[in-house]
A = this chain, B = another copy of it.
Amino acid sequence: MKKTAKKDFLKNPVKHIDIKSFDSTKIIESMKEMSFTSRDTARAAEILNKMINDKDCTIILTIAGSTSGGGCMQIYADMLKYDMVDVIVATGASIVDMDFFEALGFRHYKGTPNVNDKKLRELCIDRIYDTYIDEKQLQICDNTIKKIADSLEKRPYSSREFINEMGKYLIKNAKKKDSLVELAYKHNVPIFCPAFSDSSAGFGLVVHQVENKDKHVSIDSVKDFLELTMIKMKAKTTGLFIIGGGVPKNFAQDTVVCAEVLGKKVPMHKYGVQITVADVRDGACSSSTFKEASSWGKVDTVFEQMVFAEATSVLPLIVSYLYHKRDWKNRKRREWSKFWVN
């Protein structure tokens, strides 16, 4: 029996859904008149469109989980391109291992959870549920991060600053154009990764620090928190669009409280939409409702909607609806990254 070779596992790349290629308006409008998760989905879409139409509202998208590698990468890029998002807070994996990784020319591959993981291990294939990645390519990604770090002035950076440099790098070196990281650089949309080292970036930066014992790039997560809070203080009206939960959710919510700690009273996040499969009963942040967050003074509860669903199944419907509504055409880019330019 012939052995399955690495290329047999890595032959069907994930293709990212293009929400411009179909119009979900009719579906969302129908779901509005149904019950359960369908109606929650429709209401989420409506609240998001309300954010887009609120001239004062800065929209913060937070991303945790693997939806970017799992087919939603183009959705996030389109949201940025078509001015539906002003700030991004994400896990390092979403930004570095997935988005930046594909910008370097690599791909995610369709696989199956029912596989011999020992075999994958031997072939250096990493699995995310039903999706495969070539670990050798991830190592190139790690190394690219190291090279970027090597080229920078040695001092503490916020993750936003470092990701900005990654965007700059892509302008010249991207194999795949219009990644989220590159578009964010171009359009001055800041991206924060509050646990930046917990990703491929961490590997590259650890090597950088080991090779540069005394003077090196470090990632100061306090600086992240301060910078995001400064945006909140300046923006005042904000809306959250939360994919997954985790640290990005908590981080974005906390800016309201942080502003207060800094002596500036700011309004709670005015809008809140979250898509998650988390279980509300374990007291973890990922699953906490907006009602709970309102007790902390973080999110208002007039325009809020939890959608309990795996995001790849409902996000395409929601964002296709937003795109085809075309209300984003009337928005003006916030370009929050300019905040820190000279």
Interface-facing stretch out of A66-74, A163-171, A328-336: A66-74
**A311 contact set on B, CB distance < 8 A:** 282
Residues of B within 8 A of A148 (CB): none
In the bound complex, residues from chain B placing their C-beta under 8 Å from that of A118 are 294, 301
A121 is an interface residue with CB less than 8 A from chain B: yes
Once the chains bind, are B316 and A30 in contact (CB under 8 Å)? yes
On chain B, the residues within 8 Å of A26 by CB distance are 21-22
A222→B194 contact, CB < 8 A: no
Q: Is A10 an interface residue (CB 8 A)?
A: no
Structural contact, A225 and B246, CB atoms closer than 8 A = no
Q: When the two chains form their complex, are residues B222 and A206 in contact, meaning their CB atoms are under 8 A apart?
A: yes
- B-facing mask of A101-142, CB < 8 A → 1, else 0? 000000010100101011011000111111100010001001
A79 to chain B, nearest CB (A): 17
Give the distance in Å from the alpha carbon of A312 to the alpha carbon of B317 in the complex.
13
Taking a contact as CB atoms under 8 Å apart, the answer to whether A36 and B220 are in contact is: no
Query: A218–B222 contact, CB under 8 A?
Result: yes
Given contacts A71-B38, A222-B218, A308-B310, contact A262 B207 (CB under 8 A): yes
Chain A positions 249 through 269: 1 when the CB is less than 8 Å from some CB of chain B, otherwise 0: 011001001100110000000
Q: Which of A12-20, A53-61, A176-184 contacts B (4 or more CB under 8 A)?
A: A12-20
B221 and A196 contact, CB distance less than 8 A = yes
Q: Could you tell me the distance between the alpha carbons of A205 and B254 in the complex, rounded to whole angstroms?
A: 14
Query: Which residues of B are found within 8 Å of A222, using beta-carbon distances?
Result: 197, 202, 205-206, 208-209, 217-219
Contact among B135, B262, B309, B317 for A210, CB-based, below 8 A: B262
B198 touching A210 by the CB < 8 A rule? no
CA distance A197 to B130 in the complex (A): 33
**Chain A residues touching B, range:** 35 or more
- Which chain B residues border A224 with CB–CB below 8 Å? 197
CB of A292 within 8 Å of the partner chain: yes
Q: Is A286 an interface residue (CB 8 A)?
A: yes
Q: Does A47 belong to the interface (CB within 8 Å)?
A: no
Among A80-88, A234-242, A273-281, which stretch is in contact with chain B? Answer: A273-281
- By a CB distance below 8 angstroms, the chain B residues around A246 are 246-247, 284, 286
* Nearest CB in chain B: distance from A133 CB, A: 9
Using A278-B278, A313-B38 as known contacts, say yes or no to A121 and B221 having CB atoms under 8 A apart. no
Min Cβ gap A249→B in Å is 10
CB distance from A256 to the nearest CB of B (A): 11
Cα separation A220 to B158 with both chains bound (whole Å): 10
Contact of A288 among B14, B129, B229 (CB under 8 A): B129
Please state if B130 and A247 are interface contacts (CB–CB under 8 Å).
no
Closest to A202 in B: B225
Residue contacts A-B, CB under 8 angstroms, 18 given: A22-B30, A31-B316, A35-B69, A35-B71, A35-B129, A36-B129, A37-B282, A39-B71, A65-B285, A93-B250, A117-B292, A118-B301, A156-B220, A198-B250, A218-B220, A246-B286, A278-B278, A281-B308
New A-B contacts (10) at CB < 8 Å, excluding given A36-B71, A218-B223, A277-B279: A15-B34, A17-B34, A37-B312, A135-B296, A156-B156, A194-B197, A209-B222, A244-B284, A246-B246, A279-B279
